[in-house]
Amino acid sequence: MQEEQQPEAAADPMSSSDVPEDGPKETSSVSQSISDADAFKILLEMKMKKRQKKPALPSTVTELNTEDGSKVYVVGTAHFSDSSKKDVVKTIQEVQPDVVVVELCQYRVPMLKMDEKTLLKEAKEINLEKLQQAIKQNGVMSGLMQMLLLKVSAHITEQLGMAPGGEFREAFKEASKVPFCKFHLGDRPIPVTFKRAIAALSFWQKVKLAWGLCFLSDPISKDDVEKCKQKDLLEQMMAEMIGEFPDLHRTIVSERDIYLTYMLKQAAKQIELPRASETEPQRYIPAVVVGVVGMGHVPGIEKNWNSDLNIQEIMSVPPPSASSKIFKFVIKATVFGLMGYGCYRIGQRTVQFILSMPAAQSYLQKLTEIRSQH
């Protein structure tokens, strides 16, 4: 399931061979395979020369190792930080990874290819159309939660004049420059996270959380962002609001720590080298992986690294609770009530406007005179 969620920034060298199976001669097939293997070796040697044996890495990087010798360099970032972008670029250039894994899912892929100006505009413009799209995609409850969290992100964006996800865009660009480097999405799908988060809250907890998100207005400075390098700013703000809801923190942070750890370990599997012929034994080399995640997830990834992980449980979506159904009904009733009241007010004003027109008043006066004559 996870493999389908992992687009690649570069072609897999193992699938680059274009040898026809029914070629006229076996020797030409072997020759082509040798040529592919030689080309791979040359590019691999170039990559290894650039790869530093003792890389000079930023202080935000945590090194993890697997049992088969693969190395994973986890870059802890602040989502609204220029220095985090530099940390990501430096790490990828130093270690020349085989795989880059980022804290994104397929629903947030567009931010990788959008420029900063467009993203800044998108983040600030939260309108009814976006709300309808979110509700259509994720349901009423999850859609509203998504829009409220976008409001938090938009608030930070407006305060700083900086769009989120710059470190992920830098990772995508740098990964494309490294030979045979794959680009994987490592985060759990947003709809699953929101639906599990909603299911974890009672009716009044949902109301209280929504109220806190709706009236978020505290000023934020760039210095505040840099001070939050040890704990991601967006997640820190969320943690302050959801601190009294342990179940919500579990679904939004702790479960995603497990998912990110699992995806990093999957990416760190040994790499199979191409063979010059069918008789040559298969050879594997340890992989080098760079993970780009919010700083708040790094402790959880370290904690789960040596555990046997099963993500099936945290991928399931529980059925809606009674409180969710009540909250959903209240939201719908409120929306339709406001729409009905709006139509009533518009209709009332329209009638008053028409009746105030001279032609209408003249017509009503004639109608009154006719009735009085009868």
pLDDT tens track for 216-227: 556 666 666 655
Neighbours of 259 (CB within 10 A): 24
The answer to whether 65 and 38 have CB atoms below 8 angstroms apart is: no
Is pLDDT above 90 for 280? Answer: no
Instruction: Indicate whether 168 and 301 sit together in one domain.
Output: yes
In a domain, 34, yes or no: no
In a domain, 109, yes or no: yes
pLDDT at residue 176 in the model: 95
In a domain, 371, yes or no: no
Instruction: Indicate whether 282 and 335 sit together in one domain.
Output: no
d(CA 83, CA 92): 14
Is pLDDT above 70 for 194? Answer: yes
Is pLDDT above 70 for 32? Answer: no
Q: What is the mean pLDDT of residues 139-153?
A: 63
Q: How confident is the model at residue 205 (pLDDT cuts 50, 70, 90)?
A: confident
d(CA 123, CA 104): 17
Instruction: Indicate whether 82 and 198 sit together in one domain.
Output: yes
* Positive/negative CA dihedral, 164, 168, 174, 176: negative
In a domain, 246, yes or no: yes
In a domain, 252, yes or no: yes
pLDDT tens track for 316-339: 887 765 555 565 666 666 656 666
Instruction: Indicate whether 163 and 177 sit together in one domain.
Output: yes
The answer to whether 75 and 91 have CB atoms below 8 angstroms apart is: yes
Instruction: Indicate whether 339 and 198 sit together in one domain.
Output: no
**How many domains does the chain fold into?**
2
Instruction: Indicate whether 150 and 200 sit together in one domain.
Output: yes
Mean pLDDT of the chain: 74
Instruction: Indicate whether 273 and 335 sit together in one domain.
Output: no
Instruction: Indicate whether 100 and 129 sit together in one domain.
Output: yes
Range of the domain at 352: 324-363
CA 269 to chain centre: 24
Q: 28-37, 153-162, 241-250: which has the minimum mean pLDDT?
A: 28-37
Instruction: Indicate whether 217 and 344 sit together in one domain.
Output: no
Instruction: Indicate whether 192 and 334 sit together in one domain.
Output: no
Q: Residue 271: which H helix or E strand, with range?
A: strand 271-272
Q: What are phi and psi of 287, to 5 degrees?
A: -90, 155
Instruction: Indicate whether 310 and 334 sit together in one domain.
Output: no
